[in-house]
Structure 1
Amino acid sequence: MKRKTCLTCDRHLPANAFPKINEECQHERETCRRCWYQWLALQLETKQWDQITCAQCPTKLGQADIRALAKPAVYTKYLEAEIRGTMAAEESFRWCLNPECKSGQAHFDGDIFTCASCGHKACVGCNAPWHEGETCEAYQDRINEGERKRRQVVEEQDSAKAVERVAKLCPACGRKLEKNGGCDHMTCQICRHEFCWSCLAHYSPILTIGNSAHEESCRYHSRNLPGYRPALAMF
């Protein structure tokens, strides 16, 4: 039996392992079926359903090509994308905003879209769940204010974290100190107290007995240093 090499995986396979492709393609069949499966699955994940192309050239593939070249699960996914894309292209069509519902329908008039499948109501103007007893303007103001407050909280948290990285209180006199580089052996310029910037441990014991005087959670504690070996108990 005639054999040939796949352009993608470089495997040497029987000729019948290379499926027939789009008749518009003028090149030889040089992509094996396994590579076609992988190619189409990836294309469907990264491209619009109507932009899927041949694995060897820019020729776009249609439904018949996908059915012949893809695995059944991928073809089913393609059909769903095709249906959703075709329906969404209709100006009057709207998808239900209920995250648990995959239905949609044409909507021609009125401010409220009511899903015929699950009954979920949505505001057409705001493209959001229906805000009962609240005008669109009031709803938008509330949502924008909520988003502004959320951003403010995030900014404040980020600012606090940034300050924490460069500023701490001296554990002896309570003065605010800023660290602009250098090692973590700090000396307060006000009271001359020496301490570890990382865990705030007093430096006198550290200088006397070594790194075991740091807090156990500190990266400078003996057990947290590379090469640490716990002492063996003697009996």
Structure 2
Amino acid sequence: MSNYEEDEEYFPTDMTFNKRLAATRSSLSMPRDRQVQMPRPSSSQQTVYRAPQILMRKPRTRECVVCLNEKSIADFGEVFSTICQHVERQICTDCVRENTIRIVNDRSTTDVRCPEQNCDAIFDFDTVRRILIDSNTSVGQFEDRLSKGCVETMKSFVWCAHRCGWGCQLDDSSGNIFTCRRCKQKTCAHHQVKWHSGITCAEYDQTLCSDREETKNQNWLKDHTKKCPRCNVSIEKNDGCDHMTCCHCKYEFCWICLADFQPIRIYDNKYHAPDCKYYA
């Protein structure tokens, strides 16, 4: 019988590859009494293999979230205020400076806030001056605004109404009038206006009410009436078309453009004003 036939008998055809491999290993295995036991190394002789440590290099640049330019990490290093709430700056120094200049030049506010996301810290004057030290922006006017804002929070402080730049803090015995030490002009401390000579503060209040009522009436007349182009009498348009007839002088005109209606009636709508909706 050939070796092939012997193999066929030794390995039946219905055996899987794994079973054949296991049978081969078992046939080649050495009896236990003839196996050589290899000595195991002691714990002190065992070699310990450790994975090599990978050193991660810190990035040298960062993208500013405002200008989107790649800047050196040094441009994000300084924390301008100790009360800032952000952990790491994402806005470069140039953009922080531009934002500070914009606020300093804005006369409507004196609060210079940190522009970083989720940080609402307000920079003090020394911080603002340090940020702007390399720019041509003067902080003198900003310092004046801070000073004025500080004194205006003082109780009973009044500026001179004559705009000389002087003010003072009044006490309870000062009354409603004070004389400026710089320009020597009088100011009403109660209304903070130029002193209303000849009338008391109560009378001045009545005058203000009358003036407000008069202003209100004038605004209503301006919005709801027009003056006749011929006799100048105020006319109120309640309803109807825009062909108006003055009840005082019987003059006919267009309510929209005030054009004389007589030529319009004869020569058509080309005699309306060019910007009138009836012009054709």
TM superposition score normalised by structure 2: 0.54
Residues of 1 paired with 2:72 and 2:109: CA distance? Answer: 33
1:91 aligns with 2:155: yes
Structure 2 match to 1:148: 209
The yes-or-no answer on 1:23 pairing with 2:88 is no
- Give the aligned residue type for 2:125: Q
Deviations 1:94-151 (A, max 9, x none): 432222x11233444533423222222224445433345x4xxx42244233323333
Show the counterpart of 1:180: 239
Structure 2: tracts of 5 or more residues without a match: 1-58, 246-251
The Cα offsets for residues 63-97 of structure 1, whole Å up to 9 and x where unpaired, read as 22111223563632332122223333443644322
The aligned residue for residue 144 of structure 2 is 80
1:77 alignment partner, SS class: helix
Rounded to whole Å, the distance in 1 between the matches of 2:211 and 2:178 is 29
Contact 1:205 1:213 in 2 (8 A): no
Letter in 2 for 1:30: Q
Q: For the Cα contact (< 8 Å) 1:201–1:215, is it kept in 2?
A: no
In the alignment, is residue 40 of structure 1 matched against residue 105 of structure 2? no
DSSP 3-state at the match of 1:13: strand
Bigger radius of gyration: 2
User: What is the count of residue pairs matched by the alignment?
Assistant: 202
- SS across alignment from 2:62: strand
TM-score of the two chains, using structure 1 as the length reference:
0.62
Matched residue, 2:261:
201
CA deviation digits over 1:11-51, x for unaligned, max 9? 333444447222343422222334223422454548754x4
Which residue of structure 2 aligns with residue 220 of structure 1?
A: 278
Offset of 1:55 from its aligned partner?
A: 0.9
Alignment root-mean-square deviation, CA: 4.1
Q: Are positions 1:119 and 2:179 aligned together? A: no
Unaligned runs of 5+ in 1: 188-193, 223-235
Residue of 41, 44, 52 corresponding to 2:112: 52
Distance 1:40 1:122, change over 3 A: same
Code of the residue aligned with 1:91 in structure 2: it is K
SS in 2 for 1:73: coil
* CA–CA distance in structure 2, aligned partners of residues 47 and 211 of structure 1: 51
Identity percentage of aligned residues: 22
1:66 corresponding residue in structure 2: 128
Structure 1's 163 and 91: CA in aligned 2 closer, same or farther, altered over 3 A? closer
